[in-house]
Amino acid sequence: MAKKKNNRETILLKCEESGRINYVTKKDKKKHPERLELKKYCPHLRKHTLHREVKK
């Protein structure tokens, strides 16, 4: 059985307020070429903040 092609790439999510990288996730860059923006919990600030995708 042939291996399935994997188009998913690992991305880093950086907190906009603290400037720290808090999360690592994967996304399909062919289907979603735009940068990912999510409201996630920042453990350093202890509150939910905007996290944006950054380059490795």
Q: Render each residue's pLDDT in the chain as its tens digit; 56 residues.
A: 667 777 889 999 999 999 999 999 999 989 999 999 999 999 999 999 999 999 87
Residue 2 confidence (pLDDT): 67
* Contact predicate 14/36, CB 8 Å: no
Q: What is the pLDDT of residue 25?
A: 95
**Domain at 8-54, CATH from 3.40.50.150, 3.30.565.10, 3.20.20.70, 2.20.28.120:** 2.20.28.120
DSSP string, 1-56: -PPPP--EEEEEEEETTT--EEEEEEEETTT--SPPEEEEEETTTTEEEEEEEE--
Residue 4 has a pLDDT of 73
